[in-house]
Amino acid sequence: MKAVILAGGRGKRLRPLTDEIPKPLIEVGGKPIIVWQIEWLRSYGIHEFVVCAGYLKERIINSLGNGSKLGVKIGYVVEEEPLGTGGAIKNAEVFLKNEEGFFVINGDIITTLNPLELAKLDSKYVGVIALVPLPSPYGIVEVDDDFKVKSFREKPLLRDYWINAGVYYFRSKIFKYLPVKGDVEKSVFPMLAELGLLKAVKYEEVFWRSVDTPKDVEEVSKLLVEKS
């Protein structure tokens, strides 16, 4: 089974860190984001990877090589211009079209969720997306009926709301729905949902964080150290 890591973006919100370092190589908790991802997927028996590289692609290729130092196999698909998430996956079709199915991972998330749950996909679906509870960006103040303050909760998970975790499993028939350029989130997913071809799996008690800003690097690093 193969996994695609979408690692072609410029990471503009992570500037100035990404002025000279591609986002997947930003270190969080002592390791590059993409190394966390490969080690996580490897722990679930996934040993073959396709990295979709674009911005500062040479740095990524030189850092990871063929994957042998991480105990996996890595191939690369290069974007000469930004293709979006959908276009990046479409660009990797030559490596994936003969697979029954494959995983796709956004290059900016760190998680412990079990991806194999996504692969238990009924044949009527083309894809399945992982969902996690929305992490509140703010602390929550809890009050009683008389508005007496009862407690404070620091950035809790809002379990009534679910967000796209950036982890997907697709059957190979996905390629007929993918654009040459464009994002799966904006065009492909809404289309598949309308056709009844998209499923979701909810993950509650898992670690999940997205690394989008310099502040995220600091906060996620702290959480990973506490977790280890």
**Residue 77, beta-bridge partner list:** 52
Sign of CA dihedral 98, 53, 134, 113: positive
| Contact indicator for 5, 34 with CB cutoff of 8 Å | yes
Amino acid identity, residue 45? G
Supply the residues annotated as catalytic.
Answer: 155
In the chain, which ranges are E strands?
2-7, 27-28, 31-32, 48-53, 73-78, 101-106, 109-111, 127-135, 140-143, 149-153, 157-171, 198-202, 208-210
CA distances from residue 74 to 38, 68, 78, 114 in whole angstroms, order as listed: 10, 8, 13, 21
Amino acid identity, residue 175? F
